[in-house]
Amino acid sequence: MTKKIQLYIILTIAIIAYFLIESFYNTCLSLSWMVFSKLDELELILPWLLISIIVISIEIIILCFNIIKENCKIYCLLYIIIGLRLFTQFFISAEISMVFNLILLFSILIFFLELFFLNGKVEFLNDYQLIIGGIILGIGIQFIFLIINISSNLSTEFFKLPFTFGFAALLFYTNYLIFRPKNLDNGTIKIENQNNLTSRKQIGLLHFFLTGVLFILAITWIINPMALSSYDILNMSYNGLTPNLILQWNSYGFNYYIFVIQITGTISFFLIQKIFLKTNKNSLKLTLLISNGILCALNCFALFIIEQDNTIFSTIYLTILTIISIFSILLYISYLIHHYSWPSRYKTYLGFGIFVFSVLLSIMIEYLLCWRFYFSLPLSIMIFSLMYFGFFSIVELRKYSETLRIKPHITNLNKFWGILFSIMFILILISFGFVVITRKIEPEPSGNPTLMTWNIHNAVGMDDKFDIDRIIHEIKLNDPDILALNEVDLGSIQTSFADITSYIAHKLNMYFYYGPTFFKHYGNAILSKYPFLEAETFPIPRVVAGSEPRAVIRAKFLINSQIWTIYVTHLSTKHQDRLAQVSYNYSDSIVSIIADNNFERVVWMGDFNFGPTSEEYSILNLSESIKFIDTHQFLATIPEYTGSFDDNYQPTRRIDYIMCSPDLIPTESEVICSIGSDHCAVLTKF
């Protein structure tokens, strides 16, 4: 087989691996907002889910029962994947996007299933490095888009359009060249000696459950730079609070992990080759046991370490965790590909069902722990790590002393692989350089500031479409100097793991500070054209059992040679919680925090979740020392509603506010409504 054919195979696997990661993130986004967030409307969503399930079932039946010939399966699957990916480039409706992303994800998983069926049967796939190397390069492709587009994984991004068509054209060509049935029929692609297959152990059904847990652990945490950066001092440092940091405003914390992940993957690739060539009877299994044991321990201890305040120790710990985890996963996948063969096709597709069940179970665990019970993501990671290592021990250590049956078939192409990985790394550096060059900060404004607050509902609009850019468009039209945002995700499964604050700050050329609430992936944010003098986040009272924890951001700016203090919060939906959060009887309530500081040039804004006739609203003017001005009420004859939209997408309550101390005089105030969120924004000029 020529190096040219090898290159085509590697590129095919790389592009499909990239499509897999992208489709998984987009599917999670669709399912989260179309199913989990709209359970009360499940009867409207159920038909679309059934369509997806029926199409996927037909696809599996056709492949499993050999309705399509063996040598035609991958050939047909690739064309299906190409068509689906082109279609998902365009958003038609939330329901249709969910259907096509779900079918695309399953088609790609089935492609890898069929690809592994050929492993060991055909010469060009007998080298496990082709698959592992292609996957590493596919992750690199995804990272390039993440860097350029500041963490967005959306398949519908317009700038991806030419690349999507380019990838589709390349896949079309390589599919015809490599996987065309004629090539298998006439012997162009040689069939390996069948003795090679019989010398391998058959993979068991428990392996499928194990790999499902491993898939979720890897894709939502270990190779997810946005999730990792949520617990890292680097991500918090780009708000201007660490003035000595290099390239402070030209990159974001998740870029550090992109480099760590890609470099570790490349080094691991060559290290695994040496381990495979030099292992004796039991040394490979011992290496697997040790590395996976460390993987499990590091990810479990993360619950007790990285949940603390961000320090440089967290960065070091997460770096070591990432390096060990990536090496362990790549080593184990390489071992599975080389030393196992598939059982019968029916049993394999049964195993595929177990894999899917394992993935869904893992997602449900994460969703329930993080979004229903308000625990942290590291708790989910600890559970996944223990599940993974437990099943790994069961399936791999039962016959620990068993000799590996076949020597690895490794082609001596280190120079070839070195060139490929170097090109990928250069492209990542170029992408990073593009961000460095284009990153700017708006000039500090003169005169009194314009402030804006908006609960952006994680950029999911009333049409169920996740679209950060239309949020940004609306903000640009109003051009605030300081912007407060509520319901903002950072590296969360429910919004395709985007870092929403970084994305918005980059597009608006503003400084930013992100303040998490009940765990590091959800909270409030403040963006500013003024540099931050300081910023910090405080938890506020929660008295109702099981209610969502809340927090407040306090930030200080130098405006017109005077210090302004800005508070941003999203109060509870529970009445008793809100009373505590605005009560002077609690030392950690918002009004108590404000009262402990100078009450001059103070602005408090956000989604308060109470109306102007409520008990909570009246408390804000009970103290002699603190009396707030409701800026919109102060200027508007009839204040406009801001939230609780009806069926006609019209707000029915006034729950979003900009409050200020009496020494500040608002001159203009308005409410801005948009389909981009289930709240209206409030704008005030001073």
Q: What is the 3-state secondary structure (H, E, C) of 605-649?
A: EEECCCCCCCHHHHHCCCCCCCCCEEHHHHHCCCCCCCEEECCCC
CA dist 486 and 552 (Å) reads: 10
- Whether pLDDT at 89 is above 90: yes
Cβ-based neighbour number of residue 608 at 10 Å: 29
pLDDT above 80 (res 361): yes
pLDDT exceeds cutoff 80 at 177: yes
Q: Which residue has the tokens 């040679």?
A: 561
Sequential DSSP letters for 309-366:
S--HHHHHHHHHHHHHHHHHHHHHHHHHHHHEE---HHHHHHHHHHHHHHHHHHHHHH
Model confidence at 285, pLDDT cuts 50, 70, 90, reads confident
The span from the CA of 678 to the CA of 651, in Å, is 8
Q: What is the pLDDT of residue 117?
A: 80
Q: In DSSP terms, which residues pair with 512 in a beta bridge? A: 527
pLDDT higher than threshold 90 for residue 411: no
Question: In this structure, what are the phi and psi dihedrals at residue 685, rounded to the nearest 5 degrees?
Answer: -105, 140
Return the pLDDT at 187.
46
Mean pLDDT of the chain: 88
Which residue's structure tokens are 């407060």?
Answer: 484
Task: Note the pLDDT tens digit of each residue in 301-350.
Answer: 999 888 776 677 888 999 999 999 999 999 999 988 888 888 888 999 99
Q: What is the dihedral of CA 583, 584, 587, 592, to 10 degrees?
A: 100
pLDDT at 433: 87
Q: Which helix (H) or strand (E) holds 453?
A: strand 450-455
Highest mean pLDDT, choosing among 3-7, 43-47, 69-73, 297-301? 297-301
* The predicted structure's pLDDT at residue 191: 46
pLDDT at residue 403 tops 60: no
For every residue of 469-484, DSSP letters joined together read: HHHHHHHHHH--SEEE
Residue 194, pLDDT above cutoff 60: no
Strands 482-489 and 532-540, bridge-based pairing: unpaired
Q: What is the pLDDT of residue 314?
A: 86
> Which DSSP letter does residue 179 get?
S
* 406: confidence class by pLDDT, cuts 50, 70, 90: low
Q: List, for residues 413-430, the tens digit of each pLDDT value.
A: 788 899 999 999 999 999
Q: What is the pLDDT of residue 606?
A: 97
Give the model's pLDDT for residue 493: 87
Q: Identify which of 575, 474, 460, 520 has the alpha carbon closest to the alpha carbon of residue 32.
A: 460
Band (pLDDT 50/70/90 cuts) for residue 152 is confident
Q: Give the tens place of pLDDT for each residue, 589-626.
A: 999 999 888 899 999 999 999 999 999 999 887 666 78
Rounded Cα–Cα distance for residues 661 and 600 (Å): 6
pLDDT at 484: 98
Listed residue (432, 99, 413, 118) closest to 270, CA to CA:
413
User: Which residues fall within 8 angstroms of residue 495, CB to CB, at 6 or more apart?
Assistant: 29, 32, 458, 459, 460, 466, 489
Query: Which tops the pLDDT comparison, 118 or 658?
Result: 658
Residues 172, 71: Cα–Cα separation, whole Å: 17
Q: In this structure, which amino acid lies at residue 254? A: F
* More confident of the two residues 497 and 251: 497
Burial zone of 556 (CB within 10 Å; 0-12 exposed, 13-18 middle, 19+ buried): middle
pLDDT at 310: 65
pLDDT of residue 280: 64
Query: What proportion of the chain, given as a percentage, has pLDDT over 90?
Result: 60
> Where is mean pLDDT largest: 11-15, 66-70, 150-154, 333-337?
11-15
Q: State how far the Cα of 268 lies from the Cα of 272, in Å rounded to an integer.
A: 6
pLDDT at site 239: 47
Q: Tokens 């080593």: give the residue.
A: 331
* 8 Å CB contact between 661 and 602: yes
Q: 3-class SS at 520?
A: coil
Task: Tell which wins on pLDDT, 410 or 492.
Answer: 492
